[in-house]
Structure 1
C-alpha cells in the first residue's frame, strides 16, 4: 500500500493537479480499473433469475 502523500497506483509523490495521483496516466489507469469492475463493494450474491423477473415486471423503475 502506498504511503500517505503517495500515488495509490505507482507510489510516486502526488501532484496537486491530479490528486490523489501523480499523473494523468495513473488517474486513467485507476479509471480503467473501475470501468472493468476490478474494484467492487462486497455484497450478497445476486441471482440472475431474480434480475430477469424484475426486468419483465418493470421492477421499481419509475421510468416505466
Structure 2
C-alpha cells in the first residue's frame, strides 16, 4: 500500500510540475483531448496503462539485479 501511495504522490508531483511550468501547453493539450473521439481517447488510455505496467514490471523485475 505504501508503494502505491508513493507512486500516486510521484505522479501528482510530476503532473503538477508540468502544469506549473507550462500552463499554456497544458490547456492546449486539454483542448486537443476534447477533440478526440471516445475511441481515440480510450486507445490513448490503454496505451498509457500498458506503458505504465511495463515500466513497473521492468523496474520491479530488474530492481533486485541492480
Q: Which has the larger radius of gyration?
A: 1
| Higher RCO (CA 8 Å, separation ≥ 6 residues) | 1
TM-score by length of 1: 0.29
TM-score by length of 2: 0.28
